[in-house]
Structure 1
Amino acid sequence: MENFVASVSRAEAALRDLFEPTPLQRNDHLSAKYGADIWLKREDLTPVRSYKLRGAFNAMRKLVGDAPGSNAHFVCASAGNHAQGVAYACRHFGARGTIFMPVTTPQQKIDKTRTFGGEAIEIVLTGDYFDQTLAAAQAFSADQGAQFLSPFDAPDIIEGQATVGQEMLAQMGRAPDLVVLPVGGGGLAAGVTRYFAEEAPETRFAFAEPLGGASLQAALQSGAPVALPAVDSFVDGAAVARIGALPFEVLRRFRPADVHLAPEDRICITMLEMLNTEGVVLEPAGALALDVLRDLDQIEGKTVICVCSGGNFDFERLPEVRERAQRFAGLKKYFVLRMPQRPGALRDFLQLLGPHDDIARFEYLKKSARNFGSVLIGIETTAPENLTTLKQRLDQAGFAYRDITVDEILSELLV
């Protein structure tokens, strides 16, 4: 039986029929910021703008051979990058693909998947939630005798994702001190760490998970994969409730402390920083590894590779990303203000604003009493301390208010 490194080498060579190795680029901005030698493995620059194509291609290659033209039928369930990778590979091999996507999938992702797959694929929209979509896809696959392609929990998928690691070592020409990997279902992390364990065992690893989807950390703490009770779907490319069983068998040797959790709103700051400073478009999952650099100890002077796992970002989400980034940075707050119903009350409030405070939202809600009315007000500023000072002035002036910026329920209802 072919060993893992040899299998990965064969997969990597076959991938060249689709695309050249993605760039490994030194990033001067991040290197200066963290006092380290920071390199980015740009998986956002594959033909489908994520690494998922690697695993899908490798799994199909094992079943239909390297030559295009096949009667094989592949099925997957995905709302994003895996769907696009499967679609692209189906078209390459001339294979039939049926891709199940939730009804709630944004039209942009549906259109991109259809573009990549062309006439080779059929898209089935079913289920309001991914678990429903997955169940429908698996039932269809069994009924049709088709091959179901897991996004991460299959040996050939893991092997395909491991080609990221082979390319990194070949491009750098030496072993880096540290590799930072984003984790969703664990296929990429399992593949790369297993490859490095044989080819560069001295390299250390750090893993990045979204705070609202820390399935690897939960599994390491429990000693086995566990299902998270709830998942924040904002980092949709890595928001997985349960780490894959096969990936976990590879990753179980690591410690919970090796996993670093990125708050969803803080990831937005990293996305905007890369967009505005470097002109690099990353989706939330693609920015995970970069976001946790600030949490890593003793990386000064070290050579660090961060995997930018995907760049499928819908710019219609940009206002939301900016909003979340401002809130996390303390540059924007929302208040419900109890405003006296008298002439001049609004003027009195406006005079309390500082020179850098800007009203971004102003809305009367309803009269809560005959002499007072409630106002929803959003304030943007240039430094967090400005809002602290504004609160102090409001207190001194006797205004009654409530800061609802981090109140999830009220913010969702009112903002």
Structure 2
Amino acid sequence: MSDQEDFRDRARAAMVAMRQVFPATPLSRNDHLSDKYGADIWLKREDLSPVRSYKLRGAFNAMRRADGARLFVCASAGNHAQGVAYMCRHFGVDGVIFMPVTTPQQKIQKTRIFGGDHIEIRLIGDYFDDTLAEAKAFCAEAGGHFLAPFDDEDVILGQASIGAEIEAEMPGGADLIVLPVGGGGLAAGIRSYFGPDQGLKFVEPAGGMSLAAAVEAGQPVTLNKVDSFVDGAAVARIGEQPWARLAGIAAGDVLAAPEDRICITMLEMLNIEGVVLEPAGALSVDALAPLAQEIRGKRVICITSGGNFDFERLPEVKERAQRHGGVKKYLILRLPQRPGALKEFLNLLGPDDDIARFEYLKKSARNFGSVLIGIEAREAADFDALFDRLGAHGFTYRDITHDTILAEFLI
């Protein structure tokens, strides 16, 4: 028996065992995305698992093979924590779960609900890698069994059960499977299950491309900085065991998803389809836009990996989506300090332009003042006409919408 055949058999066995705990997640065609891209788009809805993410699978498989361990320890930005908590209660064992301080409250609260009296949550570290180090140190001291979120063969096998379900539900297969990448457990499982002949695209948040860095270097490397917005996939270093199964993939098969563009995808899926996706869960759908030409006329499966979205973050998601889509801009306007100047400026706005923010910053000279102004337009092209009118009437301004430093202080 080849290594791949053995892996596939073990993944199928894990899938069968899981049916004692939760049903297979739906694999359903999405008409909206299919029409939009002229393709046959299917979603593997891991956001509809009992803990609203695929992490339940790896936790289940690793815990059932843990040789009678009674104390489990893990580190997680949220979804792995919920999977471990759920399974601690299922197996009747204790768990200590370390989570970054920056983890959304929604994920922390759900972890408590799933684990109940069987778990303890410790919030430590601003970034996942700091949390991971603390969890491992505690586990060694307490003599627990550490459940890695992705760098573990049993976890990888558990995530590979998604591939077994896809195979069972879609015997004809798909031309392309698009999947998110954080630490690499899911990606390694799917690639190992289907083998080199299956078309795969791996999607990472632009602010945390640890797989792309590993492909370029030929080995895992640690990123100097990670954007934590896509908290379910913001990992500074791809796992060693996942990398062993991912080595050799083409650089062109690893895609970057800008964080602000992901926000547009999240809102589109929420407003049009009623599908709630967290940032990491939207990665595969977001990648369809740059793949539009390549996927036309083909059957594509997107793995929507999680739906644990804290709706307190919705204003931020909307703000980032508007700015990325070009329909909201922030300007520093040099406004003359004379009667009628403000009215003159307001009269230059288009009929669909809306002032979302207006704040005097300071008087830069006796006759002028600096104003921070936020404007929302119906179409991005509306700003071209507005800027032409401002210039024609002698108004001086600076567009700071994408000026990272100024935006952090002023917006």
Q: If the length of structure 1 is used for normalisation, what is the TM-score?
A: 0.96
In structure 2, which of residues 13, 16, 19 is the aligned counterpart of residue 13 of structure 1?
16
Structure 2 counterpart SS, 1:313: coil
- Write the letter of the residue equivalent to 2:138: F
SS of 1:359 mapped into structure 2 = strand
Amino acid at match of 2:145: Q
Partner of 1:174: 172
1:368 and 2:368 aligned: no
Contact 1:180 1:205 in 2 (8 A): yes
Q: Structure 1 residues 23, 317: closer, same or farther in 2, change over 3 A?
A: same
User: Could you tell me which residue of structure 2 aligns to residue 338 of structure 1?
Assistant: 334
Give the distance between the partners of 2:270 and 2:286, measured in 1 at CA.
Answer: 13
Determine if contact 2:128/2:235 at 8 Å carries over to the other structure.
Answer: no
Listed as ranges, the matches of 1:223-262 within 5 Å are 223-262=218-257
SS of match in other structure, 1:3: helix
CA distance in 2 between partners of 1:186 and 1:129 (Å):
17
Aligned to 2:55: 52
Say if 1:71 and 1:184 are closer, same or farther in 2 by CA, change over 3 A: closer
Give the aligned length.
Answer: 407
Post-superposition Cα deviations, 1:287-313, rounded to whole Å, max 9, x if no partner, equal 100111111242111111000000000
Q: CA deviation at 1:72?
A: 1.2
Equivalent position of 1:114 in the other structure: 112
**Percentage identity across aligned positions?**
67
- Determine if contact 1:71/1:96 at 8 Å carries over to the other structure: no
In the other structure, the counterpart of 2:95 is 97
CA distance in 2, matches of 1:130, 1:25: 33
1:41-190 map, 5 Å: 41-64=44-67, 72-190=70-188
Q: Given that residues 69 and 144 in structure 2 are in contact (C-alpha distance below 8 angstroms), is that contact kept between their aligned partners in structure 1?
A: no
- Aligned: 1:272 with 2:270: no
Partner of 2:203: 208
Relative distance call for 1:128 and 1:183 in structure 2 (3 A) is closer
**Which runs of structure 2 are paired with 1:16-31 in the superposition (5 Å)?**
16-31=19-34
- CA distance in 1: counterparts of 2:199 and 2:159, whole angstroms: 18
Which AA in structure 1 matches 2:405? I
Query: What is the rounded CA distance, in whole Å, between the counterparts of 2:59 and 2:113 in structure 1?
Result: 17
Contact 1:175 1:202 in 2 (8 A): no
Q: Is the 8 A contact 2:69 2:145 kept in 1?
A: no
* TM-score, scaled to structure 2: 0.97
Render the CA deviation track for 1:111-132: whole Å, top value 9, x for unaligned: 1111000111111122343333
Contact kept in structure 1, 2:104 and 2:310, CA below 8 Å: no
For residue 378 of structure 1, what is the aligned residue in structure 2? 374
Distance, in Å, in 2 between the alignment partners of 1:133 and 1:278 is 35
Deviations along 1:160-201, one digit per CA (max 9) or x if unpaired, are 00001110110112221110011011100100110001xxx5
Cα displacement string for residues 333-368 of structure 1 (whole angstroms, at most 9, x for unaligned residues)? 000101111100001101110111111111111112
Partners of 1:86 and 1:34 in 2: how far apart? Answer: 37
Aligned amino acid, residue 294 of structure 2: Q
> 1:18, CA displacement in angstroms?
1.5
Cα distance in 2 for residues equivalent to 1:188 and 1:106: 22
CA–CA separation in structure 2 for the residues paired with 1:238 and 1:83: 14
Q: Which residue of 2 aligns with 1:67?
A: none
The question of whether the paired residues in 1 share the 8 Å contact of 2:265 and 2:285 is answered with yes
Code of the residue aligned with 2:347 in structure 1: it is Q
CA distance in 2, matches of 1:396, 1:166: 63
Which runs of 5 or more residues in structure 2 are unaligned?
none
**Equivalent residues of 1:177, 1:202 under 8 A apart:** no
Aligned counterparts, 1:315-334, within 5 A: 315-334=311-330
Partner of 1:220: 215
**Secondary structure of residue in 1 paired with 2:358:** strand
| Matched AA of 1:203 | Q
| Aligned: 1:354 with 2:357 | no
